[in-house]
Amino acid sequence: MAEYKERRPQAVMISKRVNVFYLEHVRLMQKDERVVYLTEGNHGIDQFVAIPDKNTAFILLGKGTSITDAAARKLAESNVLVGFCGSGGSPLFGVIDVAFLLPQDEYRPTSHAQKWFALWANDRTRIEMGREFLRYRVTYDKRMYKKLKIEVPELIFDTFDENITHCETITDLLAAEGRFAKALYAALASVYSIPKFIRDAGAKKKDNPEQRVNSFLDHGNYLAYGYAAVALHGMGVPYFLPVLHGKTRRGALVFDVADLFKDWLVMPLAFRCASEKAKNNQFRAEVIEHALKHEVLDDVMGFISSLPDKVT
């Protein structure tokens, strides 16, 4: 009789992974070859909840969490990124910085990083990379705002697109981006009837629509950073090679990549959920659902892969 051998589940491709977890007040550990988190159930009885690590993109650990070395090793084997953050998904260790524990995989692809290094080291091509980032961003935004039927003036996107063409330096590109972001915030504030909104990252929470939007933006941005970190890590491109954010910031490319899709993924949901007085977990669930439904990882990894061919 042939011996039965249990088959271990195969990891899902990074770009196709379904799950993202935000956890608070739990202990993450390994139990019976599975990654689980321990939480207190009804009547004080501890409960173990399994995490499908082979189909998880990243995990954010918030307040009151801990992780064992065995769980960290198991997650690394499945190529799952782990990030530490504050309550609700906003930062704990810095205002904008984000800390991710990267799986130490010796066999990630090198071709993307080698091409990126060559382009990044040249001032002229780095500016062109930044221009391509913004062109992709505005095209992506226009497509998704139409698809999601969010009615903001198309002139906002067209003006940004035109300004990108005339920029000659990274400073020019950042200035054009700043004007675009300001116009988009104002348009969304009008759509969702929150006219007094002013972007104030890290602001103290108050019970009014404006601060609810700011709070959701902070939380949603860190989910976006997670997706960006997963895409870059999966393709083997180092985080410290940004094209728009400061060259001295160790994770700046994560912010550049997150900006590619934050405008349509995080911003409209933040305004809508604030206007509906939604809870933090409802907002996070919608961001994750939209990211999966609209294949954010696929789109972003495709752009990163094609970028070197667009820059001459």
Query: Which CATH number fits the domain that encloses residue 283?
Result: 1.20.120.920
Q: Is residue 155 part of a domain?
A: yes
**Same domain for 159 and 214?**
yes
CB 162 within 8 A of CB 138: no
Q: How far is CA 227 from CA 3, 48, 116, 166, in A?
A: 42, 26, 19, 30
Helices then strands, each counted (H, E), the chain: 10, 8
Last residue of a domain, one of 47, 72, 101: 101
Residue 138, Cβ neighbours under 10 Å: how many?
22
Provide the angle, in degrees to the nearest 10, between the axes of the packed helices 170-191 and 154-166.
Answer: 180
Percent of the chain scored above 70 by pLDDT? 87
Domain contains 110 = no
Say yes or no: 89 and 185 in one domain.
no
Tell me: the pLDDT tens digits for 204-218? 666 789 999 999 999
Q: Do the Cβ atoms of 268 and 188 come closer than 8 Å? A: yes
Q: Which element (helix H / strand E) includes 137?
A: helix 123-147
**Distance in angstroms (rounded) separating the CA atoms of residues 160 and 181:** 9
Is 46 known to sit in a ligand binding site? no
Residue 111 falls within a domain, yes or no? no
Q: Are residues 130 and 89 in the same domain?
A: no
User: How far is it, in rounded angstroms, from Cα 82 to Cα 58?
Assistant: 6
- 107 within domain boundaries: no
Residues 188, 79: one domain? no
Distance CA 216, CA 295 (A): 21
pLDDT digits over 211-269, tens only? 999 999 999 998 999 999 999 998 999 888 999 987 656 678 999 999 999 999 999 99
Please count the other Cβ atoms lying within 10 Å of the Cβ belonging to residue 39.
14
Tell whether 139 and 264 lie within a shared domain: yes
Question: Is residue 97 located within the same domain as residue 238?
Answer: no
- 218 and 96 share a domain? no
Same domain, 68 and 129: no
Asked if 263 and 294 sit in the same domain, the reply is: yes
The answer to whether residue 117 is domain-embedded is no
Domain match, 132 and 188 both: yes
Residue 259 and residue 128 share a domain: yes
Domain hosting 128: range is 122-309
Looking up residue 83, the CATH number of its domain turns out to be 3.100.10.20
pLDDT band for position 202 (50/70/90)? Answer: low
pTM of the model: 0.86
> Does residue 202 lie in a domain region?
yes
40: annotated binding-site residue?
no
pLDDT, one tens digit per residue, over 119-152 is 999 999 999 999 999 999 999 999 999 999 999 9
Question: Which residues are CB-neighbours of 190 under 8 A, at least 6 positions away?
Answer: none
296 inside domain: yes
Asked whether residue 75 falls in the same domain as residue 127, the answer is no
- On whether 105 is known to bind a ligand per the annotation, the reply is no
Q: Which of 38, 68, 101 is the last residue of a domain?
A: 101
Report the 10 Å Cβ neighbour count for 279: 11
What is the rounded distance in angstroms from the CA atom of residue 250 to the CA atom of residue 241? Answer: 8
pLDDT of residue 43: 62
User: 51 has which bridge partners?
Assistant: 35
CA distance 66 to 82: 11
**How many structural domains is the chain composed of?**
2
How far, in Å, CA of 106 to CA of 144, rounded?
36
- Would you say residue 265 lies in a domain? yes
